[in-house]
Amino acid sequence: MTALARGGHRATLRSRREARAAYLFLAPWFAGLLVITVGPILASLYLSFTDYSLLEEAKWVGWDNYVRMFTQDTRFLQSLQVTTVYVVVSVPLQLAFALLLALVLDRGLRGLSFYRSIFYLPSLLGGSVAIAILWRKVFGADGLVNAVLAVFGIEGTGWVGHPDYALGTLILLHVWTFGAPMIIFLAGLRQIPSSYYEAASVDGAGWLRQFRSITLPLLTPIIFFNLVLELIKSFQSFTQAFIVSNGQGGPADSTLFYTLYLYLQGFKRFDMGYAAAMAWVLLLIIAGLTGVNFLASKYWVFYGDTK
């Protein structure tokens, strides 16, 4: 009895010691959570109901910022539309390329790691200012694309300077970085047991049938994962639009990304209350989108183990 009690006592001592150690190891992370993440999130919620410019005291204005956003500010609505088009077009295109290349590269191909590296490189470089500068020149009036078109006798236009095409060049830039999701697809393809394909080909299933009945269903969790990740990421694109449009979102606001407009409002016009409100709308959009994604996933994502 006493031995048992002592044992239990020792166990609680030990677990208390362990918990104390854990919280010590986590101390920097907790501090960051408080000061860098949760504090600012709550502060920006408060600021979103104020008029604040860094120089004066914040003035409570209620829902004004939100009302202004959706009823009066056409540039805000434009930025929402531009970003939506960008996300809706570039993410599926990028993932389609990633999946296609992953399928081509999968198994039994010599030089796999070479190709994989080549296709992955743009993903590492794509977010940089240097590549955005390059893009601006590749699609400029006297840029590479037009020089190539001229070889075929086609006269191009200044793609980045044209309101109809500028966003298209940014979409292309996003598609160009398909390497990272491709690598995730490749890792997923490797998980599929080759015996499935053996059985299928014994039964006479052609490649299309195998793709539709084996590869695609077993890959849906990976497709879902990539989709969630890329949606969140592309909604926040900033650098490319900033550089290509010289920080303005032009021509004619055709590349005015949501985050770029937020930056202009918050840090050029110092309308920080409004920028904070925009930040919260962004958070809600991304959370909503991710939530819908998870709900919808029940209908198309196949988890082999749960059936």
Q: Is 279 in the site for another protein (CB under 8 A)?
A: yes
Q: Is 122 in the site for another protein (CB under 8 A)?
A: yes
Q: Is 11 in the site for another protein (CB under 8 A)?
A: no
Q: Is 165 in the site for another protein (CB under 8 A)?
A: no
195 contacts: CB under 8 Å, gap ≥ 6: none
Q: How many CB atoms lie within 10 A of CB 14?
A: 10
Q: Is 292 in the site for another protein (CB under 8 A)?
A: no
Q: Which listed residue (9, 11, 13, 31) binds another protein by CB under 8 A?
A: 31
Q: Is 261 in the site for another protein (CB under 8 A)?
A: no
CB nearer another protein, residue 280 or residue 302: 280
Q: Report the chain's C-alpha Rg in angstroms.
A: 26
Burial class of residue 240, CB neighbours in 10 A (0-12, 13-18, 19+): buried
Q: Alpha-carbon distance 298 to 4, whole Å?
A: 49
Q: Is 15 in the site for another protein (CB under 8 A)?
A: yes
Q: Is 219 in the site for another protein (CB under 8 A)?
A: no
CB of 2 to another protein, least distance (A): 25
Q: Alpha-carbon distance 236 to 258, whole Å?
A: 8
Return the structure tokens found at 18.
């362990």
Binding mask 63-102 for another protein (x = CB under 8 A): -------------------------------------xx-
Q: Which listed residue (51, 89, 92, 120) binds another protein by CB under 8 A?
A: 120
Q: Is 180 in the site for another protein (CB under 8 A)?
A: yes
Task: Determine the residue type at 280.
Answer: W
Return the structure tokens found at 246.
């010289």
